Amino acid sequence: MNYPVWQLGFPGGLLIAAVAVLHVFISHFAVGGGAYLVLTERRAYAHNDLELLGYVKLHSKFFALLTVVLGAVTGVGIWFTIGLVSPEATSSLIHTFVWGWAIEWVFFFVEIAAALIYAYHWDTLDRKTHLIIGWIYFVAAWLSLVVINGIITYMLTPGRWLETRSFWDGFFNPTYWPSLWARTAMAAALAGMFGLVTAMRERSPLRERVVRWAGWWLVLGIAALLPLSRWYFHDFPAYSRAYFSGTYTALQHALRGGLACAAAALLLAVVFALLRPKMMNPVVVAVLLVAGFGVMGSGEYLREFSRYPYVINSYIYANDIRMAQVQSITANGVAGTSSWVDANAADPNAYGGQLFAMQCGSCHAVDGYRGMRRISRGWDAKFASELLLHMPVVRATMPPFVGDEHDRAALGSYLASLAPATPSGANEKELGQQVFAMHCAMCHSVGGRRRPLDFKGTDPDAIVSMVGSLHDMSPDMPSFSGTDAQRHALAVYLSNPSQ
């Protein structure tokens, strides 16, 4: 409400996801890869293995080029992006955790300096000092995860912070530890994956030695990740744990996809790295990287999804509206609260469009991914504005609509204007099916899992009268806004949907 809305043409959340997934993929490598470098270097010294030492030198330069540039700058990129998409939440995070970030910044500059010295001063430093620099790097990198993990987990499970507003309560929140160890395990797995990337440049027999060594990192990392993730997800808030058993197909896909990627990575690593290292080749390494990206992406997606309808649990909604503001916005209206909307625009739908950008735009656009034109096809203004009263019931992941009656009517009529359509059909049943799609399918299914309606064999006239009093049956249902003919057609369809 306090900020303009960046109207991108696609959900702002997608932009954050794109930048963030790239960043976490590299930054976790930056943590695990540090330990991988020093331990590989130590191994090379212990076995007096000069070939292995040559490999670590090569790998350290690849590591520095990837993490110091792309890893670090995409991290700044997340900051830029969240400030653009969720300024209210970003401001709140900064006010709560500025000193956490300041501490992370200390680790960040030590990390960057150590990475560059480690990668580019192999010949300048003696072995012992070089190893010490490597350890300094790893400890600083892991500590930066220790700090940032507190802020990320706080957003999902702020715990006692909600009452105390204390830094430490927010930081060491209920999912802090499982998340930290799960991320550390992922970091080890990624260290192995990227270790394989540079191993492909080596020749036999060094190549097999490195492949097996990196393979162990990958296998142990993923093997540890699975139970740790389970522990992590187990500590999610009760409301979002319910999402996992619910009917959110995107979430189910992400969960299964993530598990499949983890299983594939584990299997490929065991076979091609541990058992038959000679057979490891760039194609398998590429598949492993994609699988690793899948595991990471899935984990982050599940965490973000589980946070809906909030961006900071029980404090700020996903659309950047503070819960504490809801009452006053409802009383004063959006136009009376925010100077960024224009309630007097000439086009009657313009104001509704601005409300749409403000309250729906972080997850929805008009077209494309989660596009509302597809979803709102055939809605009329009355139905749409009534539906807005029940957003958290329509989907538990959605924040409530916030505004006064005028706002709700404006947004309703805007939504109705996106894809006006009148249900039609060759016969009454086809017509009924369309009426169902336009008026009921948001919340119900026939023969599906989402709040299934089973009126098979019921007398259509009984259904007709029921449809007339929906709002009395449940205060969460909007009243039916179609014509009598449509209502009858709907009843005919529901009484005999299968044929």
Partner 1 sequence: MPLPAPVWLLRTLLLLTFFLHVLFMNCLLGGTAIALVSMIRRKSSAFSAQLAGDLGRLLPSVFAFTITLGVAPLLFLQVMYGQFLYASSILIGVPWLAIIAMVIVAYYGVYIYSLHKQSGMTTAVLGLVVLLLAAIAFIYSNNFTLMLSPERWLEIYRSNAGGWNLNWSEPSLLPRYLHFMLSAFAVSGLGLLVLGLRQKAEDYRRWLIEQGSMLFTGATILNFGVGFWFLAKLPVATRLAFIGGNGFATALLGIGMLLPLAAIAHLIMAKAHKSPKRQLLIGIGCGVVTVAVMVVMRDILRNLALAPYFDPNQLPVAPQWGIIVIFVLLFVGGLATLYYMLRKVAIGARMQATAAEKLP
Which positions touch partner 1 (CB under 8 A)?
A: 2-9, 15, 19, 65, 68-70, 72-74, 76-77, 79-81, 83-84, 87, 90-92, 94-96, 98-103, 105-110, 112-114, 116-117, 121, 123-126, 129, 133, 136, 140, 167, 339-340, 342, 357
Complex with partner 1: residue 80 or 369, whichever CB lies closer: 80
- Least distance CB 387 / partner 1 (angstroms): 25
Least distance in angstroms from the C-beta of 354 to partner 1 = 8
- Nearer residue to partner 1 within complex by CB, 20 or 218: 20
Q: Cβ closer to partner 1: 76 or 331?
A: 76
- Taking phi over 0 as left and psi of -120 to 50 as alpha, with beta for the rest, 457 belongs to left
Task: Report in angstroms how near the CB of residue 102 gets to partner 1 at its nearest.
Answer: 5
CA-based end-to-end distance of the chain: 50
Helices (H), 400-446: 405-418, 428-439
The length of the chain in residues reads 499
Tokens of 462: 């009984």
Q: Please give the radius of gyration of the chain, using alpha carbons only, rounded to the nearest integer.
A: 27
Least separation in angstroms between residue 251's CB and partner 1 is: 28
- Whichever of 135 and 305 has its CB closer to partner 1, that residue is 135
Q: Which residue, 11 or 100, is less far from partner 1 as judged by CB?
A: 100
CB of 296 to partner 1, least distance (A): 20
Residue 21 C-beta: closest distance to partner 1, Å: 15
CA-CA distance, 318 to 321, in Å (whole number)? Answer: 7
**62, 195, 207, 339, 424 from 212: Cα distances, Å:** 20, 10, 9, 61, 64
Q: Are 351 and 415 in contact (CB under 8 A)?
A: no
Give 54 or 392: the residue with its C-beta nearer to partner 1: 54
Q: By 3-state DSSP, what share of the chain in percent is helix, strand and coil, each rounded to 5?
A: 70, 0, 25
- Rounded Cα distance between 85 and 477, Å, is 32
Q: Which is nearer to partner 1, 61 or 444 (CB)?
A: 61
Helical ranges in 157-281 per DSSP H = 161-164, 167-171, 176-199, 206-234, 238-245, 249-269
Select from 30, 41, 36, 35 the least CA-distant residue to 63.
30
Token readout for 286 is: 């590429």
Please report how close the Cβ of residue 185 comes to partner 1 at its closest, in angstroms: 26
